[in-house]
Structure 1
Amino acid sequence: MSFRSEKILSLAGVDFNHSKEDDLIAQFNKYLKNGMHGICFSSYLDGQEPGSIITAEQIQERIEIIKPYTKWIRTFSCTDGNELIPVIAKENGLKVMVGAWLSDDKELNEKEVVNLIKVAKAGDADLVAVGNEVLYREELNEEELLGYIRQVKKALPGIEVGYVDAYYEFVNRPAITEACDVIFANCYSFWEGCHIDYSHVYMQNMYFQAVRAANGKRVIISETGWPNVGTAFEGAEPNTENALRYFINTQKWSREENIELMYFSSFDESWKVGAEGDVGAYWGLWDKHGKLKYQK
């Protein structure tokens, strides 16, 4: 077999044809115990949602669960107690990609940005993300977002600042790509309706589109994952086998190719059914009570 053929097979991922669920769970636990590069973190307990006030105690409780398995965490907000996550994570030996949540609420945006800058100036941010999919949601326009990115970059010289959105936004919006020090690309085969058999190559294609658009800048996959329960989205079916296969392929590739990747997500979150339908509640590696979902 040629090197090129071997490389193509490697990109296609693991051959799962003869893998039973117990085999997949064993592989999942092997990769989990070997450690992920990063994971998207939420400390919301069941019954909480954005706008709920979170406490240092619940943050510490959730950090304790995940910290043996990851080097980095990614946060999404710097208000309502979320601004406490980075300092607690750093105290527990984790690196942090700190996010400010932006929306069409300009008053709340200012609070998010002020707190983000405060967290970073205190030394509790290794990377900074100004906004998450706010262009995708059409809640800010490009010039408004650029204003926030420039504000944060001016306040935080020496810290890499970026923006999180779907990979294609960085292809289609060169001004945003140019303004970022680092590109945070969300790459979801599931949400593009891809069958699990092709999901790994499909996700890699998303990543490499962002890499080409980045023109040499650092590119981090800021979100990718697969739910284990819910309604199928076109060819993408949420179930335990597919969630395990996607995780295994993603972690293997990330480790072998040194891809920086924040897996989505740490814990199941019931509140997300409102925005994403029934699958929204089942993206976690741990359930809503903090129990690891995939065990023999």
Structure 2
Amino acid sequence: MSFRSEKILSLAGEDFQQKSIGDLIAMYNELLDSGVHGLCFSAYKEGQAPGSIISADQIRERIQIIKPHTNWIRTFSCTDGNEQIPAIAKEYGLKVMVGAWLSDDKEKNEQEIENLVRVVKVGDADLVAVGNEVLYREELTEEELLEYIFRVKQMIPGAKVGYVDAYYEFINRPAVTDACDVIYANCYPFWEGCHIDYSHVYMKNMYYGVLQIAKGKKVIISETGWPNKGTAFEVSEPSAENALRYFINTQKWSKEENIEVMYFSSFDESWKIEDEGDVGVYWGLWDKNGKRKYGS
């Protein structure tokens, strides 16, 4: 193998050509058991969806499953019981990136912000996210989002406040980037139709593209992952092998270069079929019942 081809493989991640599915599962379990930086966390169970009221008991049950495998969790909402997650996570020694879900429902937004501020003031938030992909969904204007961000920063001075969206939104919207103390970039080669063979270098390019315009601010990959079942998106193929490969590449890079990644996601969630089709259901490292997908 030439130096050039070795370099290309290095950029693309692990060389999987000689790896069996058993080899991949062993590598996956070694990485998961040694602990990942962070996991996107949802406590919804089968039959529940956003708007369902979640209990402290089910939050504890789900956190107990993932706690041995991660240092951080990321939450998405501060209403409908989700506001209990940070305090419970702290009981288990986890750090928390706390999110307030924003939408075009201005009344619900106020509840989210009020609860978010309360969580921060009692000391249960290590990082703060005001909104998640609300620009991508076109539910708020940039000006409206900035008003929320600046208001929250004023209410909780000293907190590390940012916004979560697709990586390119920060490149295309310098005012949003400037408003953030920390930049939370979602990086999904799958949703850009990338073949698994090129997915790792593609994701790295997303991250470094944001880093270049961040003006020295910390950039956290707030979501990235790969589904193990469902309908393909262009040449992005869901499969157990591809999900394992993507996880292995991402976690090895995260550990080797100290990249902070909130992997998506902790558990499969059936409700996502409504918005994302069948593929939306299968992004978890654990299935909908909390069973580890690839053994232990």
- TM-score, normalization: structure 2? 0.98
Alignment CA distance shift 1:153-1:33 (3 Å): same
- Read off the aligned partner of 1:258 and give its amino acid letter: N
Map of 2:32 onto structure 1: 32
Map of 1:257 onto structure 2: 257
Cα displacement string for residues 98-126 of structure 1 (whole angstroms, at most 9, x for unaligned residues): 00000000000000001000000010000
Contact in 1 for aligned 2:79/2:112 (Cα 8 Å): yes
Q: How does 1:204-215 map onto structure 2 within 5 Å?
A: 204-215=204-215
Map of 1:233 onto structure 2: 233
Map of 1:10 onto structure 2: 10
Map of 2:277 onto structure 1: 277
Map of 1:132 onto structure 2: 132
Q: Does 1:118 align with 2:118?
A: yes
Q: Does 1:179 align with 2:198?
A: no
Q: Write the distance in 1 (CA, Å) between the matches of 2:235 and 2:25.
A: 23
Deviation, 1:152, is 0.7
Alignment CA distance shift 1:156-1:23 (3 Å): same
Deviation, 1:11, is 2.3
Map of 1:58 onto structure 2: 58
Deviation, 1:158, is 1.3
- Read off the aligned partner of 2:271 and give its amino acid letter: W
Q: Write the distance in 2 (CA, Å) between the matches of 1:27 and 1:245.
A: 9
Matched positions, count: 296
Deviation, 1:8, is 4.8
Q: Write the distance in 2 (CA, Å) between the matches of 1:5 and 1:70.
A: 34
- 2:86 is paired with a residue whose SS is helix
- Read off the aligned partner of 1:201 and give its amino acid letter: V
- Read off the aligned partner of 2:234 and give its amino acid letter: E
- 1:200 is paired with a residue whose SS is helix
- 1:165 is paired with a residue whose SS is strand
Cα displacement string for residues 228-280 of structure 1 (whole angstroms, at most 9, x for unaligned residues): 00000001000000000000000000000000000000000000001101000
Deviation, 1:156, is 1.2
Deviation, 1:159, is 1.1
Structure 1 gaps of 5+ residues are: none
- Read off the aligned partner of 1:164 and give its amino acid letter: V
RMSD: 1.4
Structure 2 gaps of 5+ residues are: none
Alignment CA distance shift 1:109-1:10 (3 Å): same
Map of 1:72 onto structure 2: 72
- 2:88 is paired with a residue whose SS is helix
Contact in 1 for aligned 2:73/2:95 (Cα 8 Å): yes
Q: Write the distance in 2 (CA, Å) between the matches of 1:108 and 1:3.
A: 56
- Read off the aligned partner of 1:28 and give its amino acid letter: Y
- Read off the aligned partner of 2:14 and give its amino acid letter: V
- Read off the aligned partner of 1:110 and give its amino acid letter: E
Contact in 1 for aligned 2:9/2:15 (Cα 8 Å): no
- TM-score, normalization: structure 1? 0.98
- Read off the aligned partner of 1:250 and give its amino acid letter: T
Map of 2:148 onto structure 1: 148
- Read off the aligned partner of 1:133 and give its amino acid letter: E
Q: How does 1:36-51 map onto structure 2 within 5 Å?
A: 36-51=36-51
- Read off the aligned partner of 2:83 and give its amino acid letter: E
- Read off the aligned partner of 2:193 and give its amino acid letter: G
- 1:48 is paired with a residue whose SS is coil
Q: Write the distance in 1 (CA, Å) between the matches of 2:3 and 2:213.
A: 27
Map of 1:93 onto structure 2: 93
Map of 2:19 onto structure 1: 19
